[in-house]
Structures are given as C-alpha cells and as structure tokens.
C-alpha cells in the first residue's frame, strides 16, 4: 500500500509518496495546478503497481483543482479536516512546519489510518457547489445588514421611527416594503404635504401596485408618525433624496442577489436524498432546508450524531482528571460557525411557533428544558443538539424516529420497528 500526502496551497501543491514504516517512494516536490504539471504527477504515480490512497487537507477552494483532476483519473482520495491534521502533526516537542514536512506528515497519516479514511462521495461536486452558494448567501446577508444599517441611519434623519413600522424582508420573493416605501416617500414632507385622507388613499393604491397587503391602519400610523416626528435633514436639500434613493438601490440589488442565490440552492438541494427528510422536520422551511443541507454536507461522513454535533461546535467535551470532574462546561465552538448560526435561526423559529409545533419532538424537548428552568440559550443548544442527532439517526436507519426520544435503540429493535420515517 502506498500513501500519497498532498499539502495544498494557492496555485501549487507539495506531494510526497510513502510506504509503510516510513519508506519514501516519491520525495516531496511541488506541482503547479496546471494540466501539464498534474499530468507529470500522474505519470510518476503510475509507476507504482500497488494500491494508492491520496490524502489532502480541506483548504477552502485551493484544493479543488488538484482534487477534481485526480478524481477524474480514478484515484482514491480522502479529504481530512485541517484541525485533525494539525493535532496529528503536533505530537512531538519540536514541531517544525514547512510544505515539505507537511506533505510527509500527511502521507504518514494516510499510512496510520489506512483503513479508517473514507473516499469522498461521488456527488462531492454538487455538494461543493451547494456549500459555495450557502457561503455566498451568508456573505450577501452580512452586506445586507450593513446596508440596512446605513439606510436606517439616513431614515432616522428624514423619517424617524419608520423602521419599526415597515421593517421586514421576505426571502421567498426578495421584496422589502421599507425599501420600496423609502424610495417613493423619502422624507416626512412627502407624506404630510397631503391631507390624512388623501395620503391613506394614495398609500392603499401604492400597496396594491407593489403587491402588498392592504392595511389602512398602517397608513394612519405612518401619517401620525410623519406629523409628530422631527426630521433633521431638509427635504429641500438636493443631496437628501439622492442619498436615500441610492441607499435603497444598493439594498434592492443585494435583496435580488439573495433571492436568486436562495432559489438556486433550493433547486440543488431538491436533488439531495436528505431534502425531503430535513424539510419535514419541525421548524424547517424552504429557506432553512437548503442552507442546512449545504452546511452539513454528506451525512455519511459522520459516524454518529456526536460527530455532527461536534462539527457544529455545540458539544461540551468531558473534562476529568483524577478526582476532579468538570460539570459546567461551555460549548466548544469548534467547527462551522455558519451551522451554529443556522441552528439559532432554527430554534428561534421553533420557539415562535410552539403552538403549531407542539407535537414535534424537538419542540417538546425544548419546552421541557425551559420548564425545568434552563436559560433560553441553554435550552436552545440542547434542542439543536437533539435536532442534529435526529438527522443522522434518520439516515443510519437504526430505528424508529419516534422511539428516539422515548425508547432505547435496543427496545426499538426488540419491537421490530424498522424503516420508519419522520412522517410515520
């Protein structure tokens, strides 16, 4: 058996081939991520007549060119978590770090864990695309938050308090009532220049034109707000209208991008085998489902629910030494911060729809923890922990989902409850 370790960097990789007991067959050498250089690497590897396992670290997008090229040639490739590789490398007292040394250590890792490492799923390209869309969605959402703050800063000077009345962004269609309203009525003077009755009529026609729900009460509140609030920017200044409308235009562009990315994520997520299962779980809708699937990735990579919980960084590893046993442990926050953020949104949705989801197992568990006097965030983390375990449990097919919270796996098997789905 031959283990090939690849230390990936931007535009090039350092490759080392090694047999058992540290016999180096291919000394560490740099190969650029071009077809000519990688063909030369494949030519060198084809000289060996034994089984070859290739191991490399996950490095964002840098490892994708060499991974896709070697994958197309039929090689067995395993991608390792960088944290796991770092802990494997730092075993000695003196830990030098160069690309050459790293490639040899990765090759040695492949030898030591020859029978443990798993080959990447055949659908890795689709999942990588879905994850890339998910990460871009998060970046655009951060940009949207920044632009919302900028727009609100301007509206606080032209229409103070309007944000509390019209805030809200519909991710399903990309529409934002506050932005649409601020573009047409960018100052209080544009509202109060008409009588209340005339403005209400204009506002109702505006709602109909923009395809929003009719709301006469909201129109009255806007008029009263415009009459009573104090604007610090003059409506006669030439820059006031320009600043507000340009801020709205930028925000609308971001909203459209979010809507487009989310639609593409939904189309890709529907092709994944776990989509219907995740969508059927309490608190998950058509917005959270593709984002969850994108961030979790292939469920078969996780040997148990504990592995997925650890990847989300919401586990509290045990800490014991001698007679001391740590009981009040904080979550590790190792792993995907994006998955933790999605979990917060999920549990917030469950908390807001407790009446509708009162029969959902995660909701019941969450309410039970709250009834025990647990803090909201503690109960939220506990509920999300159960949610992630349910996902892995449903795909390992080890038992009945309903019995997951009520019975042990042994009891479930004794009762011959097999192949149950979440909707049974």
pLDDT digits (tens, 9 = 90+) for 264-291: 999 999 988 888 888 888 888 888 999 9
State pLDDT tens for residues 304-351: 888 888 888 888 888 888 888 887 788 888 888 899 999 999 999 888
pLDDT at 415: 46
Residue 130 has pLDDT above 70, yes or no: yes
**Between residues 253 and 168, the one the model is more confident about:** 253
Residues 6+ apart with CB under 8 A from 347: 283, 366, 380, 383, 384, 387
Handedness of CA 154, 157, 158, 164 (dihedral sign): positive
Tell me, yes or no, if the pTM score tops 0.85: no
Task: Please compute the mean of the pLDDT values over residues 144-155 and round it to a whole number.
Answer: 91
Give the model's pLDDT for residue 26. Answer: 86
Give the chain's mean pLDDT: 84
Mean pLDDT of 37-60: 87
Work out the average pLDDT over 127-153: 90
Strand stretches in 159-275, DSSP E: 169-170, 175-176
pLDDT band at residue 120 under the 50/70/90 scheme: low
Task: Evaluate if residue 24 carries a pLDDT over 90.
Answer: no
Give the three-class secondary structure for 7: strand
């Amino acid at each position: 058996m031959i283990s090939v370790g690849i230390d990936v960097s931007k535009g090039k990789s350092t490759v080392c081939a090694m047999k058992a007991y540290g016999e180096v067959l291919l000394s560490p050498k740099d190969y650029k991520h071009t077809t000519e250089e990688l063909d030369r690497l494949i030519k060198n590897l084809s000289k060996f007549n034994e089984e070859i396992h290739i191991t490399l670290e996950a490095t964002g997008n840098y490892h994708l060119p060499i991974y896709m090229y070697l994958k197309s040639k039929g090689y067995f490739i395993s991608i390792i978590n960088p944290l796991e590789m770092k802990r494997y490398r730092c075993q000695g007292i003196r830990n030098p770090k160069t690309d050459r040394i790293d490639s040899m250590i990765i090759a040695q890792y492949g030898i030591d864990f020859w029978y443990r490492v798993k080959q990447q799923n055949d659908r890795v390209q689709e999942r990588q695309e879905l994850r890339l869309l998910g990460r871009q969605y998060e970046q655009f959402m951060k940009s949207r938050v920044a632009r919302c703050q900028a727009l609100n800063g301007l509206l606080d000077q032209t229409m103070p308090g309007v944000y509390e009345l019209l805030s809200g962004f519909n991710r399903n269609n990309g529409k934002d009532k506050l932005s649409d309203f601020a573009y047409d009525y960018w100052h209080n003077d544009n509202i109060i220049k008409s009588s209340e009755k005339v403005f209400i009529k204009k506002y109702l026609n505006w709602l109909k034109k923009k395809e929003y729900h009719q709301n006469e009460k909201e129109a009255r509140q806007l008029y009263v707000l415009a009459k009573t609030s104090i604007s610090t920017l003059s409506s006669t200044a030439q820059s006031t209208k320009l600043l507000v409308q340009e801020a709205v235009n930028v925000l609308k562009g971001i909203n459209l991008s979010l809507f487009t990315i989310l639609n593409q994520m939904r189309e890709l997520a529907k092709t994944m085998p776990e989509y219907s299962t995740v969508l059927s779980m309490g608190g998950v809708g058509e917005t959270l489902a593709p984002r969850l699937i994108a961030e979790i990735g292939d469920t078969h990579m996780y040997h148990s629910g504990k592995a997925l919980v650890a990847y989300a960084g919401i586990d509290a590893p045990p800490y014991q030494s001698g007679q001391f046993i740590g009981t009040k442990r904080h979550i590790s926050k190792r792993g995907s911060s994006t998955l933790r953020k999605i979990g917060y949104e999920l549990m917030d949705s469950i908390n807001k729809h407790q009446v509708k989801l009162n029969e959902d197992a995660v909701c019941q568990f969450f309410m039970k923890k709250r009834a025990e006097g647990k803090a909201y965030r503690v109960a939220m983390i506990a509920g999300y922990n159960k949610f992630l375990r349910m996902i892995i449990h449903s795909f390992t097919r080890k038992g009945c989902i309903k019995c997951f919270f009520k019975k042990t796996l042994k009891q479930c098997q004794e009762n011959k409850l097999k192949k149950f789905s979440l909707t049974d």
